[in-house]
Amino acid sequence: MQKYIVLLCLIHSCYGVIYTLNDTEYNRMPAKYKGDLYDKCHWDEDAVYCFAELKLVSDTPSPLLTMIQEYSAHNTTHFDYTKLIRGVCLTQTCKHLYNGTAASINDTEIRVAIEACVNEEMFKDYGLKIKVIRHFCNQPPKDKPLDTLDYAMAIICLVILLANIAGTIYEPFGGNRKDFLSRFLVCFSIRNNWRKLVAPVARGNDPRLKRLKGIHGMRTMSITLVIMAHSILACVAFIDNPNYFEQLYKSNMLKVIFNGMTIMQTFLVMSGFLLVYNSLLHAEKHKITLMSFPKYIILRWLRLTPPYAVVLGLTITWMRYLTDGPLWQEVIGNEVNDCKKYWWTNLLYINNYFDDSQCMQHTWYIATDTQLYCVGALVYVLCSTPRSRKIVLPLLLVAGLIIPGVITYMLNLDGTLIVSPEAIHSLFLNEPTFNYTYRRGHTNLAGYTIGLSFGYLIYHWQKKGVDMSRFRRYRFGVPLLVLIGTGVVYSGSIFFEDVPRYSMYTRVAFASLQKPFFGFIISLALVIFIFKIDDIVRHIVEWQGWTVPSRISYSAYLVHVAYIRHFVSYQTTIWHATFVLIQQMTVGFVLVSFLTALPFFLIVEAPLGNVTKLFLMGSPREKDGDNKENVKADHSKKMLSDSEIVAIEKIVPLKTLREILSDERTYENSRV
């Protein structure tokens, strides 16, 4: 055994990487994060508080610096300790080196002062020096004047709020009137939108739609895991024990969280499945032609954009005034500036191809899903025969398998997105694997194609009355399927091990196969729930309690990162990370996201969706002595409640856009 340990140590030394340090050696290194007290600094009206990213250097050979470099080289689970973060109150800690004030900030003088000030401590304690890579001195948001965009967004929010008040008051008295103004006001009725939100699941006439109840549970659990994973951002910022966070990578339970980015395939598979499945149901009564394709795209854009635009507008304007802290410019200010510059990429859903933008980075998924939705809609419209589908879908799947592998090979990327400490710290900005294989539309094609394929399969199995009850004898294997899915997610942890980087062939194979395999497991889960092959797990995902959080999940997804960013920007001192505290923060972000999503859905998302639908539908046609219109209106209301069960994709017939929307499910199912 000792021989193997010696051999392993020799191999490690050849690679110039140190995987583990004992506490004594670790404490020899300068602290990764260190800062003066922010609030105390601002007791002085002319205070200047700056954050700086510093690079460790040495004029002479330094064993300590060599150790730091070799320990930092294992960047999958270690912070980069050659780059330090310092918060410096220049007007107090370094007042003997800096004579400026908040009113007269000179970048060159500040850089020189920070280097001189920190070097005094660094050389004395460690025999090392630093160079300032970049720095920023925050200006409290309260000192910034309001601009035109701020006033414009305030007016928009005020109008929406007043419309909600007016609609809620008016609805009990004039909610049944059919004139345009009455219908417009009812769109904003909080009471009416609340009834739709809590309406029973699957109340439509088509029994096949009732089998989609499990999607509520899958969506709610998945979005909860996504918010928890994003909460990691708040757990690495400005902590005094980064080595504790590094040790979390060795926890088998937390490895699933660190590799949980694969869970996003759940949404892509469900999106592709529902696009095809709902469209096939609608095609039973309506003809689909090539002219239906632009209607798919238009309706989806109209369904997703209004609430998205409101959050984007608030991000650019009023959210920047909510907090003030030493990290404000780094975490909030940069996002605001990028949103002002790249807002159009978000509203066109192409922001996942702009790598230098921090504007609502988490919405890469909405862009990716929209792009794949366009591909799926085009395939559905063009491939109207079983033969064409049997040709096109396998070709798309093969392309989806090959593309990530080729890109991984050409750019020498990792086999999966590695959620490393430094990647989290930098918000994945300029992280090549994140940019080129994780969030691009074309690199997620395989999972979406699997969803499309199972949409066709499940529909035709139901249509032909295929007896799936014979598979119930294997229902005890369903928990095994859950374990396999967890294992697929967990498999990404091989890239976090204390070993040299895996071979190119391993990384290429992993990049090509992991996400599609997980997508296939999700598709099998859909088959199990829809055909009632299992009872235990099915009853869990079909629980009525998932319905409301599922319907507001789009709003929760839009707003949750804003809370995380503002929490980080508000930190005014170093904090000590513990498992209990991280748990509390994670659960807190999940709760506050859904609690915010509820009023946002009632006041913004649902009303604006209703208004868009109203303008597209126009006034109802009235026929004297004809009760069919009333029957149709009642039927539409039922269909609306039914459609909100799924609330993901739209269904489009051949007729004009206004005629399409006479079936309200068409519009409601355009949601992500």
Domain-embedded: residue 629: no
Domain-embedded: residue 218: yes
pLDDT at 235: 84
Sequence-distant (6+) residues with CB within 8 A of 392 are 379, 382, 383
* pLDDT > 60? residue 149: yes
Sequence-distant (6+) residues with CB within 8 A of 263 are 222, 225, 226, 229, 489
Q: Are residues 128 and 191 in the same domain?
A: no
pLDDT digits (tens, 9 = 90+) for 21-39: 999 999 999 999 998 888 8
Q: How confident is the model at residue 379 (pLDDT cuts 50, 70, 90)?
A: very high
Number of other CB atoms surrounding residue 306 within 10 Å: 17
pLDDT digits (tens, 9 = 90+) for 273-295: 999 999 999 888 888 878 889 98
Q: How confident is the model at residue 13 (pLDDT cuts 50, 70, 90)?
A: very low
What tokens appear for 450 in the block? 């699997």
Q: Are residues 292 and 343 in the same domain?
A: yes
Residues β-bridged to residue 49: 89
Give the pairing of strands 129-137 and 49-57: antiparallel
Residue among 334, 335, 331 nearest 315 (CA): 335
Residue among 493, 358, 372 nearest 434 (CA): 358
Q: Are residues 85 and 205 in the same domain?
A: no
Of the residues 85, 106, 137, the one at which a domain ends: 137
Q: Are residues 605 and 479 in the same domain?
A: yes
Task: Please report which residue ranges of 383-503 form alpha helices under DSSP H.
Answer: 386-411, 421-425, 432-433, 445-464, 478-490
If phi over 0 gives left and psi between -120 and 50 gives alpha, with beta otherwise, what is residue 175? alpha
Q: How confident is the model at residue 230 (pLDDT cuts 50, 70, 90)?
A: very high
H/E run at residue 86? strand 83-89
HSE at residue 668, side-chain half, CA atoms within 13 A, is 22
Torsion angle of alpha carbons 650, 655, 659, 661, nearest 10°?
Answer: 10
Give the pairing of strands 83-89 and 33-35: parallel
H/E run at residue 512? helix 504-530
Mean pLDDT, to the nearest integer, of 1-25? 62
Burial (CB count within 10 angstroms: exposed 0-12, middle 13-18, buried 19+), residue 74: buried
Q: Are residues 102 and 180 in the same domain?
A: no
* Interatomic CA distance for residues 450 and 447, integer angstroms: 5
- Mind giving me the DSSP string for 338-379? HHHHHHHHHHTT-GGG-TT--TTGGGHHHHHHHHHHHHHHHH
Identify the weakest region by mean pLDDT among 46-60, 95-109, 229-243, 570-584: 95-109
Q: Are residues 105 and 172 in the same domain?
A: no
Q: How confident is the model at residue 671 (pLDDT cuts 50, 70, 90)?
A: very low
Average pLDDT in the chain: 85
Of the residues 137, 167, 184, the one at which a domain ends: 137
* Separation in Å, CA 453 to CA 418, 569, 646: 29, 44, 18
* Interatomic CA distance for residues 639 and 285, integer angstroms: 15
Domain-embedded: residue 653: no
Domain-embedded: residue 353: yes
Q: Are residues 381 and 437 in the same domain?
A: yes
Q: What is the pTM of this model?
A: 0.88
* Interatomic CA distance for residues 256 and 159, integer angstroms: 44
DSSP state, residue 189: -
Domain-embedded: residue 401: yes
pLDDT at 78: 94
Q: Are residues 529 and 562 in the same domain?
A: yes
Domain-embedded: residue 536: yes
Domain count, the chain: 2
pLDDT at 626: 41
Q: Are residues 197 and 90 in the same domain?
A: no
Domain-embedded: residue 146: no
Sign of the Cα torsion 251, 408, 224, 455 reads: negative
Mean pLDDT, to the nearest integer, of 131-144? 74
Q: Are residues 100 and 248 in the same domain?
A: no
Q: Of 38-42, 255-259, 313-317, 318-322, which one has max mean pLDDT?
A: 313-317
* Separation in Å, CA 96 to CA 85, 91, 129, 136: 21, 8, 19, 20
- Mind giving me the DSSP string for 458-487? HHHHHHHT---GGGGGGGGGHHHHHHHHHH
* pLDDT > 90? residue 80: yes
pLDDT at 640: 38
* Interatomic CA distance for residues 389 and 247, integer angstroms: 49
pLDDT at 100: 67
Q: Is 140 or 266 the better-scoring residue by pLDDT? A: 266
Helix then strand then coil, in percent of the chain rounded to 5, is: 65, 5, 30
* Interatomic CA distance for residues 266 and 289, integer angstroms: 29
* Interatomic CA distance for residues 140 and 572, integer angstroms: 13
H/E run at residue 195? helix 190-197
* pLDDT > 80? residue 390: yes
* pLDDT > 90? residue 197: yes
* Interatomic CA distance for residues 32 and 434, integer angstroms: 24
- Contact (CB, 8 A) for 20 and 69: no
pLDDT at 452: 97
* Interatomic CA distance for residues 469 and 480, integer angstroms: 19
Mean pLDDT, to the nearest integer, of 493-510? 92
- Contact (CB, 8 A) for 130 and 57: yes
- Contact (CB, 8 A) for 532 and 214: no
HSE at residue 625, side-chain half, CA atoms within 13 A, is 0
pLDDT at 642: 38
Domain-embedded: residue 627: no
Containing structural domain, residue 113: 2-137
pLDDT at 141: 47
Of the residues 102, 137, 172, the one at which a domain ends: 137
State the Cα angle at 574 between 248 and 20, rounded to 5°.
Answer: 35
pLDDT at 45: 75
Sequence-distant (6+) residues with CB within 8 A of 491 are 259, 510, 514
Q: Are residues 224 and 114 in the same domain?
A: no
What tokens appear for 420 in the block? 């490393």
Identify the weakest region by mean pLDDT among 119-133, 471-485, 542-556, 620-634: 620-634
* Interatomic CA distance for residues 326 and 335, integer angstroms: 15
Q: Are residues 378 and 327 in the same domain?
A: yes
State the Cα angle at 530 between 463 and 465, rounded to 5°.
Answer: 25
* pLDDT > 50? residue 12: no
